[in-house]
Structures are given as C-alpha cells and as structure tokens.
Amino acid sequence: MIIVMESLNDSLKKNMLDSSQAIKRLTEMKENYYPDYRLNGGSVLALSISQILIKEMLSTWDPLQDPTMPFEELKKWKELLTLNEPCAVGYQSSDEFQTLIWQEWVPQVQKACGQWKCRDYNSMLKLVEQSAELIPTDIITKVLENMILPQIQSEVEQWDPLTDLVPIHLWIHPWLPYLSKHFETIVYPTLRQKLSVALNAWHPSDSSAKLMLQPWINVFQQGYMEAFLIKNIVPKLQAALHAFVINPHHQQLDNWNWVNAWSDVLPLPTLVELLDQHFFPKWLKTLTMWINMNPNHEQISNWYTGWKSLMPPVIVEHPTIKGRFHSALDIMSRAVGGPSMPQPPPPPTIH
C-alpha cells in the first residue's frame, strides 16, 4: 500500500500520471485495501492528486462556452473521494470533494461571472442547472448569492426602462427558481423605483406601460404590486376619467378605453373605487340632465344597457357598482312616472 502511494507521488512529480491512471490506481487501493487506505491517508493523497490534475484540466476551461466539460472527470473523482463512512468524528469524507470543488472549480466559475453579461443569461443558467446534480448544494447556493446575484443587481442599477429595448423580465425571470427570495429584497426595490420614475410622464393612451408591468403582476408580492399601481397608475386613470366627456349623442370612448384596459390588472376594490368616485357621479349627472330634456326613453334604455355592457361582469356584479346602476334605474323609472326601483339593502351595522 505504502509502495503504491509512493509510486503515485513519484509519477505525479514527473508529470507521468494522467487523471484516468490516477483514478484507476487509487480506486484499486480503496477497494482492495480499504482499512489501510483510511489509516494511511489515502483520501488525503487522492485529494492532493485530484487538485493537481483537475487544476490543470480546468486551466483552459471556459464555463460559459462549455459548462459541462469537466463533469465526467469530476464525477469519477467524487466517487473516489467519497468514503463509505466518516473518517473521524465530526469530519465527513465528502469534505474532500467539496474541498476540490471550492479550490479548483469555484475560482473558474468566479472568473467567468466577472466576464458574464447578465442579459445573455442562457450560458450561466445552463451552468447552474447542469451543475446541480454534481456540485454540492451549498456551493451552488454560494455561487448564486455571491457571484451571480451581484452581477444581476449591478445590471438592474444600470437599466433604463425608457431607453432599453430589451424587456428586463426576459433576463430576470429565468433566475426566479434560484433567486426569487433574494430578488424581493435586493433587486425588486430598485426595479420598482426605476419603473416608477419612468411612469412620471406616462399618459394612459400609451399602452406600453401595461405591457411593461404585466410580466411582474404575479412576480412581485401582491401588496407591493398593488401599492405600485395605486401610486403610479391609478392617479393617471383618475385624470383620464376627469377629462372624460359623457355625451349620449356623440360619445367618444378613448378615455374610457384607456381606463378599461387596466381592468384585468388593477385590484378589484381599487377599480371599483375608481369608477365609483370618478366615473359614476358624472355619468348619473349626465343621465339626470338628459332625462330632464324629455328624451326618447328607448334611447336612454339602450344607453344604460350599452354602458353596462362595456364593463367586465365582475365589476357589474360588485355591490357598489350594482348600487350605482340601481340609482340610474330609479332615475329612469321616476322619469316615466313608474314606481321607484327598490334600493339595495344598506350595509350591515358594525358594532
């Protein structure tokens, strides 16, 4: 056993030992002389030899061009460097393989991260995905948190939503399975701040804002997304409704359509409040003025049902909006001398 170990060392010093030969001879030692292998530091020798040979192999490796190149060789060394039991109390044999990865594989990945362009996410993502089955999880986690995440954050800080032609979600979303929790506290606040600034001069007639925000609706936490919309989108929609002219005889729906386009994005309570406070008072006032001019009541009925059809069913069925439409029916009913429509029940008393 000792003679074989000395022979291996001698061959290594003379550059006469390749990886396949080393693995073959060390594996034979481990399988045939396992007690002596443990006692005489076979795993330490294996680690020493593996570091020299793997370092040489990785010296020309580009992780972004060929992410899986070293894996077959590393798999063989992993099997060899893993013993069947702990070497000593508190020291697990798998530490040898982790040491090999930390000292030889990680520096090459770190170098690649320094040269990596985040927008070209495929190469780095492929490296992470294909490393998962071989590289210890805690090492992959460190690579993600300490090497990849800072690069992404730096790129987000340079991103300008007004001039950048590549939607940012295209190169952020692929990392969600690995970094979503870190994005919540590190990346998303910066991203939302930049989006908010970009929306300062936005007008609801510009549909690009919705296209820009839609990929984030189910990614940002609900509270953050709703707060963002209420701060940056709702005031612009309020202004659009304030400028909206309701004219039963010549209705232009541009402003309405701008607002309605957000009905599948805004939280239901926010959308209901927006219509209740900034559309229906004006709409009911127009109805009252029109009725006072002795109009054709069939036209009024068609106008009423037409407006109702413009709203999503979930809005029409909301109690607040139902109440507004009931008010309209009551006005219409009184105008033709009929009985008043029953009002919706009052809200429950809160004790």
The reported pLDDT for the residue numbered 349 is 47
Structure tokens at 194: 């930049």
The reported pLDDT for the residue numbered 321 is 98
Per-residue pLDDT of the chain (351 residues; tens, 9 = 90+): 555 556 655 555 556 567 777 777 777 777 776 776 676 667 777 788 888 888 988 999 999 999 889 999 899 888 888 765 544 444 444 588 899 999 999 999 999 999 999 999 999 999 999 998 899 999 999 999 999 999 999 999 999 999 999 999 999 999 999 999 999 999 999 999 999 999 999 999 999 999 999 999 999 999 999 999 999 999 999 999 999 999 999 999 999 999 999 999 999 999 999 999 999 999 999 999 999 988 888 999 999 999 999 999 999 999 999 999 999 999 998 877 654 444 445 544 444
Q: What is the largest CA-CA distance in the chain?
A: 114
The reported pLDDT for the residue numbered 203 is 97
The reported pLDDT for the residue numbered 20 is 74
The reported pLDDT for the residue numbered 335 is 79
The reported pLDDT for the residue numbered 4 is 56
> How far is residue 84's CA from residue 163's CA, in Å, rounded to a whole number?
58
| pTM beyond cutoff 0.85 | no
HEC string of the chain?
CHHHHHHHHHHHHCCCCCHHHHHHHHHHHHHHCHHHHHHCCHHHHHHHHHHHHHHHHHCCCCCCCCCCCCHHHHHHHHHHHCCCCCCECCECCHHHHHHHHHHHHHHHHHHHHHHCCCCCHHHHHHHHHHHCCCCCHHHHHHHHHHHHHHHHHHHHHHCCCCCCCCCCHHHHHHHHHHHHHHHHHHCHHHHHHHHHHHCCCCCCCCCHHHHHHHHHCCCCCHHHHHHHHHHHCHHHHHHHHHCCCCCCCCCCCHHHHHHHCCCCCCCHHHHHHHHHHHCHHHHHHHHHHHHCCCCCHHHHHHHHHHHHHCCCHHHHCCHHHHHHHHHHHHHHHHHCCCCCCCCCCCCCCCC
Listed residue (76, 88, 85, 60) closest to 23, CA to CA: 76
